[in-house]
Amino acid sequence: MLLAVALCLVSPAAASAIRIVEVGGAALEGPTAPVTVPGRAPRRGGGALDSSLRVLDATDISTRTNGKILGVDPKEGNFSCSGTAINTPSKSIVLTAGHCVVLNGITASRIAFVPAYEHEDRPFGTFNVSSVYVMPQWRHGENPDFDVAALGVAPNHLGDLTDVVGARGFATSRSRSADFQIYGYPAAALKGEEMRSCRAHGLGSDPLTFSFVGPPTIPGDCDMAAGSSGGGWLLEGTYVDGVTSYGYANRPDLLYSPYFGSAIGAFLNALP
């Protein structure tokens, strides 16, 4: 069911120990007020199919918070996913999909985030991951309703991540029929070497996730392939309100994200 993590020929980051931290635990959704956290501006100075388009300037202030995640799967080797820098107190958090870091009980290693990556160009450098934050519902049960993870990255030679590229805000408990801008590095687009984007519309719920404990996942009309996993779903062009989780082979025109309800909201608010 899930989109496979793209196995691309990429250069892994320098080896380092990665700390795994479980955040949250409540699987049931309660009637809570929506969460909205604003974004942060950066410090000054610092073959997909038809519906997705190439981002012409990945370094633009409106897109540089998106980037490519590189890592090593102990069994499969090098892989890539997508992620988004988000606004938290530590200025160091990247939001992505849980299966980009923990899958089939195996935790990836040598993970790094490269904002605005484009054909081996790393205009803002590489940020190596020191900590991974996951929800227990994903780590222990791979429940797709909670397929989210956050990466804590160390500063690079330019400084803290969100001082360098800025940070997206995040929002929860919003409409399932909202309009989204979805970003990612799909493998079909020159093996994930360029950032692409879809303008998508939320299409309610995926009935095949009704049996899981938690809010059902949400479909969006976007045809990006593997490698786009973990890419942010932006609401109002500002707030991350989803991440690409999986797709179906017989519906290549749709991507699916966990619904950002109260449990994922609590996870996001607890990040350092």
Residue-wise pLDDT tens digits, 41-60: 666 544 334 457 889 899 99
Is residue 41 included in any domain, yes or no?
no
Mean pLDDT of 186-210: 88
Map residue 146 onto helix, strand or coil.
helix
Domain span at residue 112?
47-269
Q: What is the reported pTM?
A: 0.85
In-domain check, residue 40: no
Where does the pLDDT of residue 185 fall: very low under 50, low under 70, confident under 90, or very high at 90 and above?
A: very high
pLDDT at res. 14: 39
Number of domains making up the chain = 1
Q: What is the pLDDT of residue 16?
A: 46
CATH number, domain containing residue 62: 2.40.10.10
In a domain, 228, yes or no: yes
- pLDDT > 90 in the chain, percent: 68
Predicted pLDDT of residue 74: 82
Residue 29 lies in a domain: no
Please name the residue that has the structure tokens 């309100």. Answer: 241
How far is Cα 134 from Cα 148, in angstroms, rounded to an integer?
7
| 24 within a domain of the structure (yes/no) | no
Question: Are 256 and 219 in contact, with CB atoms under 8 Å apart?
Answer: yes
Q: Which of 17-21, 153-157, 170-174 has the lowest mean pLDDT?
A: 17-21
Residue ranges of E strands in the chain: 19-22, 36-37, 53-54, 66-73, 77-86, 93-96, 102-103, 106-107, 109-115, 127-134, 149-153, 169-171, 179-184, 196-201, 218-221, 232-235, 239-243, 246-248, 251-257
Decide: 90 and 272 in contact? Cβ < 8 Å: yes
- Domain membership flag for residue 37: no
CB 180 within 8 A of CB 200: yes
For 94, the token pair is 């990247």
Q: Mean pLDDT of all residues in the chain?
A: 86
Q: Which tokens sit at 104?
A: 């089939």
Q: How many residues does the chain have?
A: 272
What does the alpha-carbon distance between residue 5 and residue 189 come to, in Å, rounded to a whole number?
A: 15
